[in-house]
A and B are shown apart, each in its own frame.
Chain A
Amino acid sequence: MDLQFLTKWVGELDEENVICFLNEFIDDTPSESDAQEVVAACQEGMAEVGELFEKGEYFVGDLIFAGELLTEAIELLKPVLGSDDSTKVGSIVLGTVHGDLHDIGKNIFRSMVEAAGFEVIDIGIDQPVSAFVSKVKEIKPDIVGMSGVLTLALEAMKDTVEGLQEAGLRDSVKIIIGGNPVTKESCAHIGADDFTNNAAEGVKICKEWIK
């Protein structure tokens, strides 16, 4: 089997070929390690999607579709994958901050960063400071990701960082914020470690932190 093709098709968001390939693969009753390799090839394809997005050849709609395609692929592979998930490179507690109900951007980032090997604990939308604090206490993640689309999210992000600070958790995590209204200035005001309006860049930042 030639996994290069699979990677290429995922990168091109060629759903038909990806699904066809995976169905044939499963029909051959593959081993778990073969299946892991296939997953890795899909993830590489996702990285290509991220590259194309950063180059301005793909747009948010393509990222959403890529996330969908990857989920579909993993669903297909599940029966042969087993439960070995020891290969996580790092962990992220991710959520949309209180006051904001938007999650499209958050979900895009989640699927891309998962594809890059992170374990993501997604706590959902409109999450109070206490929800972030207790999840961070429980999971002890490497990174906290906060998302928001409306400008009202900015103060909520600041509250959340302060909440983590008060709970004595701030220094044990890196914090990244994302979404339409975040800027360099607001990042400084909020006290996050980094910011982005671009999920692919967010993935790079997280990888850099884990190195």
Chain B
Amino acid sequence: MENIENTRGIKELQVERKENIQAVYDNLVPRRVPINVSLGLDIVAEYAGIDRRESLWDPLLVESAADELCDRIFSDVCVYGGKIHMPSYYQAMGSKNCVMSSTGFMQHPNTVGLLAEEYDDFINNPFDCIIEKVLPRNYKDLNFLEDPARSMFTIAQAMMAKNKNMAKTVGMIRRLTEKYGYPVNEPGTGGGVYAPMDILTDNLRSFSGMSSDIRRVPSKVKEAVEALYPLNYKVGIPPKITNYGNVFFPLHMPTFMREKDFSTLWWPTWFRQVNDYASMGLHSRVFCEHDWMRYLDYIQDLPTDTRIQFEYGDAKKIKEKLGNKFILTCLFPLSVLTTCTKQECIDKTKEFIDIMAPGGKFIFGFDKSSLVLSDINIENLVAVCETVRDYGVYSNPGDKAGLSFHKEDYKHSEVKPFESKYYRTFEEYKRQNPETPEMAKNTVMELEDAIVSFIYSLCQ
């Protein structure tokens, strides 16, 4: 690390990193395998010896530790990854589906926000139903119908707290980015959303509820995911679409289902969403959590250059089957760091690179995000990252990597407009405020849509 800084200078390193990763997205062989390794707030606080609970209230407390880790660990993204689940907003809302454990770790217990007998309400209008039925159940202080004033204050507090936390995190990452020369993503080009059936499952029907619904009321499940589509589709689209941005989908339910249920209930709406996005030139980054080996044939049908992140699986088979069409990432076991010696870590990294890197379309990452310091051994982590940097070098940078993506190859489906009695369209707004010029539309709707996205985020 030191000598890289000395010989090239940070700005140059920044440009180089950016060109390197963009090459992968442009279907070219990069100079070397890009490294996507970062550490979240919890683990950085632990490294710093700061009380985890305090760091959750003020992430700036960990800045110097984050700085030190950026200095020690070579990665092509900021080593400090921040955190999304914070008590300042979840506790403000009286959240029951995102709470702190006895060790200060924010988590989702298995909660049921939507009852089996409420499917018809949900199908009738998912967003209305979320506001009227789901939120009051999962958040003690969000009962818009019974306690509207308190609920409005609460949601305002929560949104402000979330934005404040975001501003702190973004500021910190910006400073570290300048100091260590990480590539800067163009703002507004990234989004994140869940597969329709996953959002219906995670905190609405719950894993256990959905497992019964699949057998008892499959047709309701199907109708519900279809009804959800306009909302889900809308929430995922980032303000700006570029070849380098993407929409992130963490995928939860499929490996816990039978293929028959997966192929009829889970897959169709999600496949539709990814295809709709592809037709707009919007790439999806999908995290195939758990073990997807039995679904590789389905994955193969996804749009070219979908960025696919794996947890478990056979690296060789995955590369062979999917490596020419998709950008593959992760899969390298985090547990290697704590169960192997430094030399074994280095050897395993090389072995993995020998399998995954050839031909390009590959970014290095771990199978799991690390949560606590005992998940990693920093010395071994440093060694793994440096091995990727120094060993994962291509002899043919700039060559074409594999299949190339053309958005014209994909057809957009017919999507019904998103509607809810709680959503004010620009037409309605103009009826109320006739003097509003057309150019104000973005400003007006950005505010309206921010609410929709926030409400959606409360269901994850």
Contact = CB atoms under 8 A, between A and B. Distances in A.
Given A101-B99, A101-B101, A128-B102, A68 B372 contact: no
B335 A98 contact: no
A99 B373 CA distance: 14
B103 interface: yes
B107 interface: yes
Interface residues of B, number: 34
Contacts of B334: 151
B215 A13 contact: yes
A155 B372 contact: yes
B260 to A, nearest CB: 11
Given A100-B107, A101-B107, A102-B110, A154 B212 contact: no
Contact of A183 (B108, B110, B257, B335): B335
A151 B99 CA distance: 18
Interface size class of A (residues with CB under 8 A): 20 to 34
B270 interface: no
A59 B257 contact: yes
A102 B109 contact: yes
Interface string A57-82: 01111101100100000000000000
Interface stretch (B75-83, B203-211, B317-325): B203-211
B339 interface: yes
Given A98-B102, A98-B103, A126-B101, A64 B207 contact: yes
B109 A125 contact: yes
Tell me which of B99, B108, B216, B374 has the highest count of chain A C-beta atoms within 10 A of its own C-beta: B374
B370 interface: yes
B298 interface: no
B368 A64 contact: no
Interface string B256-271: 1110010000000000
A128 B108 CA distance: 19
Contacts of B208: 64, 68, 104, 107
B255 interface: yes
A169 B216 CA distance: 45
Interface string A87-123: 0000000000011111110010000000000000000
Contacts of A183: 335, 339
A15 B375 contact: no
B361 to A, nearest CB: 28
Given A104-B110, A155-B372, 18 more contacts: A15-B215, A59-B256, A59-B258, A61-B257, A61-B258, A64-B212, A68-B208, A68-B211, A68-B212, A98-B102, A101-B107, A102-B110, A103-B110, A104-B207, A154-B374, A155-B374, A180-B290, A181-B335
21 contacts: A60-B211, A60-B256, A61-B207, A61-B210, A64-B211, A65-B212, A65-B214, A98-B101, A98-B102, A99-B101, A101-B101, A101-B107, A104-B207, A104-B208, A151-B334, A151-B368, A151-B371, A152-B372, A154-B374, A155-B372, A155-B374
Considering the complex of A and B, which 3 residue pairs feature the smallest CB-CB distances, nearest first?
Answer: A99-B103, A64-B211, A61-B211
